[in-house]
Chains A and B, each alone.
Chain A
Amino acid sequence: MNPLRKQRLYALIAVLIGSLLATWLVVSALSENMNLFYSPSEILEVDIDENVLIRAGGMVKQGSIEKSKDSLNVRFTVTDYQNELIINYEGILPDLFDENAGVVVRGNLKTDGTFKAIEVLAKHDENYMPPEVANIIEANE
């Protein structure tokens, strides 16, 4: 390679490294703030004001869903398998909302430790399979 081209190549590599470095700095500065939600354990660790809107996420605990018969009120427990958080919500739940499925809720942490959600989002996992395969897996467990 002739010297001029080599020089341009080095300059360009320097640009790329600079850009990657800048991005890395932004990414690490944002690190915690870029998380979409907090886990129940993280919420228990800190004091959060009742009026602050936050998102909490985790798995819906098996057998914890209590639906009201005469309204859209629903109460369920979100767990990260270490700590739990009780969620109260009034509204329509997404199709994928289910026991043992991921969920992200937005709302306020009340002083009594329960969470009043104004929005419930279902979090999908990376598994895709036909129902027959899912049944076999369930039977084997």
Chain B
Amino acid sequence: MGSPPLFYRWSSKIIPWLGILAIIFLSVGLFWGLLIAPTDYKQGDVYRILYVHVPSAILGQSIFMFMAACGLINVVWRAKISGMMLKSAAPIGMSFTLIALVTGSVWGKPTWGTWWVWDARLTSTLILLFIYAALIGLYSSIDDKTKADRGVSILSIVGLAIIPVIKKSVDWWQTLHQPSTFTLTSSPSMSPEMYQPLLLCVIGFYLIFAFTLTLNLRNEVIDRERSKNWVKQIFVN
């Protein structure tokens, strides 16, 4: 899939499937989570916002890691498509991070009693949002696309250091945000009937990312290769 024309042809086949799968996973996951899953013993129904909040926060961070991987490939192997991929993923990752911050805030007001607090988890997530913004800003400020790719690739590697800070913030410092419910070392401190729909939502959010990334990347490919023959052929026929 390294070559743009090959990617263009191949992606048109998988787009509908990604879309359909995303709709299936999300509608089942959200319906299950919002309507069928039991209420929480302490929070009541307010906790259900986690079916959007948790997947958004996961995606906000994993998209950044994906972008750093694209950045590495772009700098070391100079693969053109990896630069386009990084650029196409950035606004999606930024949107998910913003959704995580907003839904967290909406949840914080009734449960904590405040919309916002400068604790380590919230502040480090806000920094991630700013890094996304800086990356998008840097890209659009450089006219030469190859140089712009190189610039954001290096920034994505530099910015990667914020991810472990976000992840460990609730363990390193005393925060208002609760510690992780899901850890590698112990069983989840959430009932199975609550985390099963959450798992579907997380998969659904990853599928939405794959779907929108493919759409964005196709636009980017067409835009950058517009003077090439293969693009002209598609639009002439």
Task: Give the interface of A toward B (CB within 8 A).
Answer: 5, 8-9, 12, 15-16, 19-20, 22-23, 27, 31, 34-37, 39, 57, 93-97, 101, 104, 119-135
Of residues 174 to 192 in B, which have CB atoms within 8 Å of A's CB atoms? Answer: 174-176, 178-181, 189-191
Of residues 11 to 38 in B, which have CB atoms within 8 Å of A's CB atoms? Answer: 38
Question: In the complex the two chains form, is B173's CB within 8 Å of A122's CB?
Answer: no
Question: In the complex the two chains form, is B181's CB within 8 Å of A126's CB?
Answer: yes
Question: In the complex the two chains form, is B112's CB within 8 Å of A15's CB?
Answer: no
A121-B176 in contact given A96-B43, A128-B190, A129-B194 (Cβ < 8 Å): yes
Residue contacts A-B, CB under 8 angstroms, 11 given? A12-B75, A19-B161, A23-B162, A27-B172, A34-B120, A37-B174, A96-B112, A128-B43, A129-B191, A130-B39, A131-B39
Stretch at the interface among B152-160, B199-207, B229-237: B152-160
Q: Tell me how many residue pairs across A and B have CB atoms closer than 8 Å.
A: 124
Judged by a CB distance under 8 angstroms, whether B148 is at the interface is no
Judged by a CB distance under 8 angstroms, whether B225 is at the interface is no
Output the residue of B41, B119, B190, B193 with the most chain A CB within 10 A: B41
Which residues of A lie under 8 Å from residue B157 when comparing CB positions? 12, 15-16, 19
Of residues 75 to 129 in B, which have CB atoms within 8 Å of A's CB atoms? Answer: 75-77, 110-114, 117-120
Instruction: Tally chain B residues at the interface, Cβ within 8 Å.
Output: 44
Q: Please, how many angstroms separate the alpha-carbon atoms of A31 and B118 in the complex? A: 14
A19-B158, A31-B172, A129-B40 known; 14 other A-B pairs, CB under 8 Å? A8-B76, A15-B157, A23-B162, A34-B120, A34-B172, A119-B113, A120-B113, A121-B113, A121-B117, A124-B43, A125-B179, A130-B39, A130-B193, A132-B38
Judged by a CB distance under 8 angstroms, whether B7 is at the interface is no
Task: Give the interface of B toward A (CB within 8 A).
Answer: 38-43, 47, 50, 72, 75-77, 110-114, 117-120, 154, 157-162, 164-165, 172-176, 178-181, 189-191, 193-194
Question: In the complex the two chains form, is B112's CB within 8 Å of A94's CB?
Answer: yes
Question: In the complex the two chains form, is A34's CB within 8 Å of B173's CB?
Answer: yes
Which 6 residue pairs across A and B have the least CB separation, nearest first?
A: A94-B113, A130-B38, A134-B41, A23-B161, A128-B190, A36-B119
Per DSSP, are chain A's interface residues mostly helix, strand or loop, or mixed? mixed
Q: How far is the CB of B116 from chain A (nearest CB, A)?
A: 11
Q: How far is the CB of A12 from chain B (nearest CB, A)?
A: 5
Which residues of A lie under 8 Å from residue B119 when comparing CB positions? 36
Q: How far is the CB of B202 from chain A (nearest CB, A)?
A: 15
Question: In the complex the two chains form, is A5's CB within 8 Å of B76's CB?
Answer: yes
